[in-house]
A and B are shown apart, each in its own frame.
Chain A
């Protein structure tokens, strides 16, 4: 995305610099070295924070999504025992893609006043990168974890999450990542058998797959089955049988409302459509075909499954 800014590029550099220097000279505290300042607030403003000592650690857990490599920067800010504000802006930088990653930032004695994780504007869409951070007290044998400081998604429009302020958002809260999952084509003569990825939750919008039958005579009768890994939770039976040497696309639409009892032409082929309830699939759930009369030379295609997905077990 193109980003513009109202901080303008100088046309006349000398004049711009001179004016800026004048303004700069009036600012207070500018002589203090850049990232280390004595806490100089007035008597009526005590800093608020969380006191940490040497056996505490900030512990962050990131959950990413394959296909979205995202550079992440984490940091924190403390007032140390000498009253100095110390910024650790780039305490850890790494690129995350898929799976869970844990980062532990060791602490020192001081008042934690801010803690954050940042991604660039090229970050993935909401629903694809989730982070949770908390304080691990007494790292070692007497370890215990105090409540989480922040938890939520990082995305192109929420490039910063931190404490205080950002709050605790469950990964299933709010909108997810709109995505198309492409299930692998099974071998010839085999039915579709797709399992959802562990640690993700999906709301199904539509499903489509194409069956091309061989020249061997026979009626093929298609049923799409959704399961939780053990039990079947929804079955969609397509009533017209498919004969030899034909290509037919089967599709399901969420809350579509109707069920076709006959095939409809689709170019040189045919399509048959049915409705699907508002299904939510957790990780390890299954989508499969169960084709009665399926023959060795018959071929199921890849499956296009339009979903809204969240990072959640």
Chain B
């Protein structure tokens, strides 16, 4: 959009103009005592702050990078004001903030999301020197999750962590609904790592006489890393719920009542799923009229390849 291009350029121009014509109220002279020099990093006109957001909070997540500099005239001046958001789950969105000769004393990312919890929105900020042919990425200013409960991360005093460090985003994922007579096959999405907590799905068998046995499998896309074969079988015209719990312990050999239906429970190891991992069923003697439901996965999730 041309309008957006013009606005972007005007922002850049205004950004430069503020150096020389400070807007009232937005800048203050550096007036600390002689024994208190400000701490910061000296930057100049070919440096820039590159802020990158990776978020699964696509619907409501609005994030704003910013910072504070002390100009060569000793004035404190705020930077930023732009907003960025993820358009695709977990993919990178980058904001570039050009700098000019000054002392960079802080850099900050603010989350205006009303929903994002930890594990959903990871932000990194890098100070890049010499934008151009001799470009040099010098310093990671911060790298951390922002959330409703922790809406600010920044430098200094912020952290530089890997997105898989610490607790992730706990939520429930609904897998794809297979067609009648078809098995479940759910691939883990790009850019996310998931720790499985529980899995459940239902098999409703048709009136066709057959002995079905559920085999539940996890692959890394190539190699089979776990499979659970139900000890109990399922006959015609029945509704069984199958559920798996991480490190739950027992394995039920027989079905138990679940209202008018039945349930079979099994334990699974503490599995981590990277993008491309596949959870699938291979039900023995599955009939054309049998219907597997979509799986419900309770997961802990992190932004990570």
Contact = CB atoms under 8 A, between A and B. Distances in A.
Contacts of A205: 225, 269-272
5 contacts: A5-B96, A7-B96, A25-B16, A26-B20, A258-B251
**Interchain residue pairs A-B with the least CB separation, the first 6:** A257-B249, A89-B136, A253-B269, A19-B9, A26-B16, A175-B164
Interface of A: 1-8, 10-12, 15-16, 19-20, 22-30, 32, 34-35, 37, 39-42, 44-47, 75, 77, 87, 89-90, 114, 116, 118, 121, 125-126, 153, 155-162, 164-167, 174-175, 178, 180, 182, 205-206, 208, 249, 251, 253-258, 260, 264-267, 271, 273, 276, 304, 306, 308
A264 B231 contact: yes
Nearest to B102: A28
Interface in B111-144: 122, 124, 126, 129-130, 132-141, 143
Given A28-B19, A255-B247, A2 B88 contact: yes
Interface string B203-243: 00000000001010000101111111111000000000000
Contacts of B227: 208, 249, 251, 266, 271
A206 B13 contact: no
Given A23-B12, A42-B74, A180-B225, 18 more contacts: A4-B87, A12-B5, A28-B45, A34-B46, A35-B134, A39-B42, A41-B42, A42-B72, A44-B37, A45-B37, A45-B42, A116-B139, A157-B305, A205-B269, A249-B227, A251-B227, A255-B269, A306-B220
B140 A160 contact: yes
A260 B139 contact: no
B91 A3 contact: yes
Interface string B140-170: 1101000000000000000011111100000
Given A87-B130, A249-B227, A306-B226, A29 B13 contact: no
Interface string B53-64: 010000000000
Interface string B248-286: 111100000000000000011111111000000010100
A292 B230 CA distance: 28
B23 interface: no
